[in-house]
Amino acid sequence: MKRFTKLLSKTLIIAAGFSALTATADVLQDIKKRDLIRIAVPQDFPPFGSIGTDLKPQGIDIDMANYIADEMGVDIEIVPVTSANRIPYLQTKKVDLVISSLGKNPEREKAIDFSTPYAPFFLGVFGSKDVSVTKIEELAGKTVGVTRGSVEDLELEKYAPKSVDVRRFEDNNTTLTAYLSGQVNLIATGNLVATEIATRRPSRAPENKFMLKDSPCYIGMAEGETALQAEVNRLIQKALANGELNKISMKWLKAPLPKGFGA
């Protein structure tokens, strides 16, 4: 019994020591000390993260992770995660950053901290270059294709003027075909679908006219790591200013960053 109490107290002391350590630990210093940053990236969500033909992860998030590591001047360990376990990986300190097409919401903000946005992710109205529309009111009298029952369909119904001829199609593919065949010159969809069109038919690459719903991607990190957060934000600002972010967007999304991104 005595031995057990001793063991218990020892364990408690170690545990207390650990929590004291984690409470004061500065992840940014840890990264510099071990000369390695561990970053969680997706592997099942192109163009953000997928496995390339060389069996290596590739995508926006991987490029972004490499950029951060390069700028910090440390080695990088890429940790593939799924959308379900990316936050637990962060909370159990298996990774330092999550760059995994992470959207921000109040619920998540209670659990982790976010950087400024690094990649665009939004629903919007897209169209061919010869159609000039800059805001939702200007859709009046025009024809817009959309996938029935999707979020963008509901947004259009809520905000678009009554005179818009909304053509609803069965699924994303039919909406896409309607645009490609010229049956509609405007579509409401996500920017990833627009990228898909630009990849399939560069000559009819749709350009973003305006946004319906904006939900850009942020880099996630453990709560209270202010030094790390400041450093990551500084690097994002730098990439935004020197065009690095725009280059990544052009490479993977086939479109420049939307106007006013990160502002």
Interface with another protein by CB under 8 A: which residues? 145, 148-149, 153, 167-170, 174, 177-178, 181-183
Element (H, E) at 176: helix 172-180
175 beta partners? none
Element (H, E) at 199: helix 191-200
Q: Give the DSSP letter of residue 258.
A: P
Residue 184 C-beta: closest distance to another protein, Å: 9
Q: Give the DSSP letter of residue 138.
A: G
Task: Closer to another protein by CB, 112 or 178: give it.
Answer: 178
List, edge to edge, every strand of the sheet that includes 44-45: 44-45, 49-51, 57-58
CA–CA dist 252, 241 (Å, integer): 19
Task: Closer to another protein by CB, 110 or 158: give it.
Answer: 158
Q: Give the DSSP letter of residue 59.
A: S
Residue 186 C-beta: closest distance to another protein, Å: 13
Task: Closer to another protein by CB, 146 or 219: give it.
Answer: 146
Residue 145 C-beta: closest distance to another protein, Å: 8
Residue 136 C-beta: closest distance to another protein, Å: 20
Distances in Å between the alpha carbon of 254 and those of 60, 63, 112, 241, 249? 12, 15, 31, 19, 7
CA–CA dist 229, 234 (Å, integer): 8
Residue 165 C-beta: closest distance to another protein, Å: 10
Task: Closer to another protein by CB, 39 or 184: give it.
Answer: 184
Nearest to 22 by CA among 263, 190, 224, 240: 224
Task: Closer to another protein by CB, 110 or 162: give it.
Answer: 162
Amino acid at 52: G
Task: Closer to another protein by CB, 93 or 148: give it.
Answer: 148
Residue 126 C-beta: closest distance to another protein, Å: 17
